[in-house]
Amino acid sequence: MTQGVHTLEVWGDLACFTRPEMKVERFSYPVITPSAARGIFDAIYWDGIRERKGNKSSIRPYFYWQVVRITVLEYPRFIALRRNEVKDRVPGASVLNKWMAGTEEPQPIWADGGKDELGTDQKGRTQRQTMALKNVRYRITARIVPKAGFSSDVKKFNAQFERRAKQGKCFQQPYFGCREFPAFFEYVEEGEGCEPIKFDQPLGLMLYDVFDLEKGVVGESDKPFISLFDAHVENGVLEVPVFNSNAVKKPGRV
């Protein structure tokens, strides 16, 4: 294994990596996005320091996962679904902490009906069309990029991730784009696993991530930071440029 580089083989029955230009309806890219791939690694091992300033809290991460390569092991197969989605959002950590401490009464989010049926200000649910993927399998390679001040801890971070991944441990169930589409994973050594499929396709501008990965602190009130890149799958392999390269289009950069 290349030093500091880790590879996971991931698979699942369903997946949806929504194209942002499709607005309300969910239409998946044919291949997993770097942000969804990073989320799988984060679910296995991610760490940071929670900082408070007044009533606001933020997280100062030790590192972020830089996805290097995505290898497609199954041909993209689409399936049309209708899904019920809750319109209301889960409140922030400050409200959840009050509920857990018992200082405020928890307010449930109703999944059925709307204001007319429930008699409340809650929005209820809505039904949306989803063009998802089925029977997906990928091999994802990524490495740890430490934040400022934590470069000396990289060896420790790598060892902890490798131990957790080989034992099948995760902080939360990884998923493919939507939480109801669970992802299963296995740690593989370099050169292991089956060969990529014979698949070539230009994907156009693909969503890279919704966060500024190089930002030192991630706050609850931070707005999304959308980045894109020109994606090409060649011989079943999608090479992902590094986040701070000119190949990644970010807000304020042409």
pLDDT reported for residue 56 = 67
Assign 31 to helix, strand or coil.
coil
Percent with pLDDT over 70 in the chain:
86
pLDDT reported for residue 117 = 62
Strand order in the sheet with 56-61: 48-53, 56-61, 218-219
Write out the residue limits of the CATH 3.30.70.2660 domain(s) in the chain.
5-81+131-249
| pLDDT tens column, 93-149 | 778 888 888 888 887 777 666 556 655 565 667 778 899 999 999 999 999 999 877
128 vs 87, 89, 90, 169, 178, CA distance in Å? 11, 17, 19, 33, 13
CATH code that applies to domain 5-81+131-249: 3.30.70.2660
pLDDT reported for residue 109 = 75
What average pLDDT is seen over the chain? 86
pLDDT above 90: residue 237? yes
pLDDT category, 67, cuts 50, 70, 90? very high
Cβ 249 vs Cβ 233: under 8 Å: no
pLDDT reported for residue 74 = 95
What is the C-alpha separation between 28 and 15, in angstroms, rounded? 8
| Ramachandran assignment for 124, one of left (phi > 0), alpha (psi -120 to 50 degrees), beta (any other) | left
Average pLDDT over every residue of 187-215: 88
| Range with lowest mean pLDDT among 117-126, 185-194, 204-213, 240-249 | 117-126
Residue 229 class from Cβ within 10 Å (0-12 exposed, 13-18 middle, 19+ buried)?
buried
Average pLDDT over every residue of 206-213: 92
pLDDT reported for residue 136 = 97
197 vs 32, 73, 76, 225, CA distance in Å? 15, 6, 10, 33
pLDDT reported for residue 134 = 97
- If one compares 223 and 157, the residue with the highest pLDDT of the two is 157
Cβ 46 vs Cβ 181: under 8 Å: no
Cβ 73 vs Cβ 140: under 8 Å: no
pLDDT above 80: residue 159? yes
What is the C-alpha separation between 76 and 133, in angstroms, rounded? 7
